[in-house]
Amino acid sequence: MSRIISRFAYRFLLRLHPASFQNEFGAEMLWIFDEEDQQSGAAYLLFDGARSLLRQRFRLQNDPGQLSIASGTIITGPGMSPLRLLQGGVSVLLIFFCLIRVLSHANSLFPDVKWADRMSCYTLTLEAPSHAEVVLTSTP
Amino acid sequence: MVSRDTSNGPLSAATLHILLALAGGNLHGYGIIKEIRRSSEGHYRLGPGTLYDNLKKLMQAGLVADAAQVSPPKRRSAATKEDDRRFYTLTREGKDALAKEVDRLQSVVSQARLRLRESRARV
């Protein structure tokens, strides 16, 4: 089930890439995702896909149509409208939500260990300055 | 457009690994990932996003090309799934860039060895 969700999330990530990149490499990236899913783990591939998306969308270039945050200001041109930025933000949030769901599902496979159940409590008492007595008491 | 790290060096780790993988022969994307994993003995991991992002830059810089555009594609009589994949090849400029980077790394290693020898002699 988690595999289907992660594949869906990856396809969604690919769809957010610029159309030219998607057309050129999208099918091959999905093929590699299917091949590598077992070996590398979906979380790593999703992270790599998200990083690639950010690089493609927000690459710092001299191109005025792209985002520039070098001077501390966000300049948007015809290639990056505020609506696109909003869409990107919402998409990233959605992807992270899916990732957290997948990871929390994976964590549920392992037993939850409560350390408080296992730890004993020790008390250290120093009696007098001339001779020190150490009293160790264990409380269940 | 030629990106800064592919024209003047030093090359990024991903770029260097991709060029090294292609120096052994034409490979498709997944072949490059597997070759990098094999040659680095699993120490360097490259995801498909990073791979194609770098391949795009390398193709724009003229260091890597689509193998089908450089030489005619193979005959498809016994076509397998692998035959449908796009293969990438190192161009002459790519080979030059790789050779330049290897020379640069060689001089870094020589310098490092010299410094270490000097510091050992002082102790």
Q: B31-76, pLDDT tens digit by residue?
A: 999 999 999 998 998 999 999 999 999 999 999 999 987 766 555 5
Sign of CA dihedral B80, B82, B85, B91: negative
**B85: nearest CA in chain A?**
A28
Instruction: Please check the confidence at residue A101 and state whether its pLDDT lies above 90.
Output: no
Residue B102 has a CB neighbour count (10 Å cut-off) of 14
Lowest-pLDDT range of A8-22, A126-140, B21-35: A126-140
- B96 vs chain A: nearest CA distance in angstroms? 26
* Of the partner residues B45, B50, B85, the one whose CB lies closest to the CB of residue A28: B85
Q: What is the ipTM of this complex?
A: 0.77
Confidence of residue A78 (pLDDT cuts 50, 70, 90): very low
Residue A49 near residue A10 (C-beta atoms within 8 A): yes
Q: Which of A32, A37, A46, A55 is the best substitution to test chain B (most B C-beta atoms within 10 A)?
A: A32
Q: Taking the model in full, what pTM does it have?
A: 0.65
B85 touches chain A (CB under 8 A): yes
B44 at interface of A, judged by CB pairs closer than 8 A: no
Determine the residue of chain B that is closest to A35 in CA distance: B30
Each residue of A41-65: pLDDT tens digit? 888 899 999 999 998 887 644 444 4
Residues 6+ apart with CB under 8 A from B39: B17, B20, B21
pLDDT category of residue A136 using cuts at 50, 70 and 90: low
Q: How far apart are the first and last CA of chain B?
A: 50
Closest listed residue to residue A89, CA positions, set A128, A130, A57, A48:
A57
Cβ of A44 within 8 Å of Cβ of B47? The answer is: yes
